Amino acid sequence: YCGMVAIVGRPNVGKSTLLNKLLGQKVSITSKKPQTTRHRIMGIHTDGPSQIVFIDTPGLHIEEKRAINRLMNRAAASSLADVAMVIFVVDGMTWTADDEMVLKKLQHRNDDRKIILAINKVDNIKDKEALFPYLTELAKKFDFDEILPISASKGTNVQRILDMARESL
């Protein structure tokens, strides 16, 4: 089994941290400063007979006013074309206009592609109950195949994402 899985989301939600955790090594630069990753970064996870190519996809949130932005956006969108699954990463504490823009891009969905919502940085959230209104709102906006609270840095539910990625191939 072999296939690709894209990681999408606005800057700073933890895409690169998640990619590194999924691969068990540092291939993607993580930073407090948004937009560290301008190019796609891929990594291959090999496990028995299955090989999954994970793609860290920056730029899907960018407004298309400038030519360079359209270009970055097209590169990001084209990396979604052949994937088996999309991991939409958001920050459990904040939903922004950029998140909304990414969600809009995902709406042109191709039916056999799984889209999962990974609500990241839950290690930062003291009151887990606070997550529920957020989850309910997001579930209303979009028909996700799965909604998972995760911590990319601590590894919470990262194995579950790997399992789902493998099942999607």
Instruction: Give binding residues as ranges.
Output: 9-16, 56-60, 120-123
51 vs 153, beta carbon nearer ligand GDP: 153
The contact mask relative to Mg ion for 35-74 (x = CB under 5 A, - = no) is --x-------------------------------------
Q: How far is the CB of 23 from Mg ion (least distance, A)?
A: 14
Nearer to ligand GDP (CB atom), residue 52 or residue 90:
90
- Which of ligand GDP, Mg ion, none sits in contact with 153, Cβ below 5 to 8 A by type? ligand GDP
Residue 17 or 73: the one with the smaller Cβ distance to ligand GDP is 17
DSSP for the chain, please give it.
-EEEEEEE-STTSSHHHHHHHHHTS--S---SSTT---S-EEEEEEETTEEEEEEEE--TT--TTSHHHHHHHHHHHHTTTT-SEEEEEEETTB--HHHHHHHHHHTS--TTSEEEEEEE-GGG-S-GGGHHHHHHHHHHH---SEEEE-BTTTTBTHHHHHHHHHHH-
Report the interface residues with ligand GDP, using CB under 6 A. Answer: 9, 11-17, 30-32, 34, 36-37, 120-121, 123-124, 151-153
Closer residue to Mg ion in complex, CB, 16/151: 16
Output the smallest distance, CB 28 to ligand GDP, in A: 7
Contacts of 61 (CB under 8 A, 6+ apart): 9, 10, 11, 98, 99, 101, 102
Stretch that binds Mg ion, among 10-18, 76-84, 87-95, 151-159 (CB under 5 A): 10-18
Q: Which residues bind Mg ion (CB under 5 A)?
A: 15-16, 37
